[in-house]
Chains A and B, each alone.
Chain A
Amino acid sequence: KQEVTQIPAALSVPEGENLVLNCSFTDSAIYNLQWFRQDPGKGLTSLLLIQSSQREQTSGRLNASLDKSSGRSTLYIAASQPGDSATYLCAVPGGATNKLIFGTGTLLAVQP
Chain B
Amino acid sequence: DGGITQSPKYLFRKEGQNVTLSCEQNLNHDAMYWYRQDPGQGLRLIYYSQIVNDFQKGDIAEGYSVSREKKESFPLTVTSAQKNPTAFYLCASSPITGRGVDTEAFFGQGTRLTVV
CB proximity to A under 8 Å, residues B40-87 = 40-43, 45, 48, 50, 58
A102-B101 contact, Cβ under 8 Å, with A43-B107, A43-B109, A97-B50 = no
Q: Is the CB of B42 within 8 A of A102?
A: yes
Which stretch of A44-52, A58-66, A67-75 is in the interface?
A44-52
**How many B residues face the partner with a CB closer than 8 A?**
30
A41-B112 contact, Cβ under 8 Å, with A46-B106, A98-B31, A103-B42 = yes
Among A44, A51, A93, A96, which residue has its beta carbon within 8 angstroms of that of B107? A44
**How many A residues face the partner with a CB closer than 8 A?**
28
Among B33, B94, B96, B109, which residue has its beta carbon within 8 angstroms of that of A42? B109
Q: Is the CB of B108 within 8 A of A98?
A: no
> What's the Cα separation between A46 and B41 when bound, in Å?
19
Asked whether any CB of chain B lies closer than 8 Å to the CB of A111, the reply is: no
> Which A positions have Cβ atoms within 8 angstroms of B?
4, 31-32, 34, 36, 41-46, 49, 51-52, 89, 91, 93-94, 96-105
